[in-house]
Amino acid sequence: MGTVLAHLISADSDLELAGGIGRGTLDAAREVLRSADVVIDFSAPTLLSTLLDEHRDSLAGRAVVVGTTGLDATVLDALATLATLSPVLCSANFSVGVNLLAALVEQAARVLGDEYDAEIVETHHRRKTDAPSGTALELGRAIARGLGTDLEQVRRDGRAGHTAERPRGEIGLHAVRGGDVVGEHRVLLLGERERIELGHVATDRALFAEGALRAARWLAGRDPGSYTMQQVLGLP
């Protein structure tokens, strides 16, 4: 993603790349961070955690766009703290289509209610290390919002063995890994006499980089706080 972002920035006359930070350059990140208006992170949870711990002062006042997934409560708390100093936007997926899908899924769940069983199936390349994907979890949270419940109280990650009857209101999450799949997400809302399927297929990672740059343009110069991709796109 860093390579794709660098390519897109170099092709845009309105943007300038201040520099890049990798696993071996975190110690020297201070000058790069302080020369930037926006910091975009597509790294790994451990690297992002180190960046937030060691360079919070340098990040203060800069817009921060985070696309790293698999974040634990500690990193999320650190981002919330940074949001008191900087505008911060953290998204599991920067695709315009995926964010629109989440809005549609929430609306569908609100209309259909828990009489329709909700299942999410996501597929990614074999190298992805977190499961379910951050996008699948965000879609699950969208369904939960529509149902007026908390995803963590009703989620079910996969099934095996004698699972008994599926309880009403459960949200199923299923992860498939293999090949070079960029990202596929399918939401099934299954009723007694009909089913609704909503989905999204990504075929090029540049899609996510383009969305991150769109978010960066929108976020730059805003007041400190936590923002969402839905706000960038003007979605309810």
Give the residue among 53, 57, 79 at the shortest CA–CA distance from 66: 79
The token duo for 27 is: 């110690």
| Annotated catalytic residue, options 7, 55, 125, 128 | 128
**Is there a contact between 155 and 173 (Cβ–Cβ < 8 Å)?**
yes
Query: Active site includes 200?
Result: no
- DSSP per residue, 10-27: HT-TT--------TT-GG
Angle at 230 between CA 169 and CA 57, to 5 degrees: 110
Catalytic-role residue among 7, 55, 124, 162: 124
**Rounded distance between C-alpha atoms, residue 154 and residue 140, angstroms:** 10
User: What tokens does 17 get?
Assistant: 């790349």
Whole-angstrom CA distances from 4 to 11, 92, 211 are 11, 18, 12
Q: Check if 128 is active-site.
A: yes
Active site residues: 124, 128
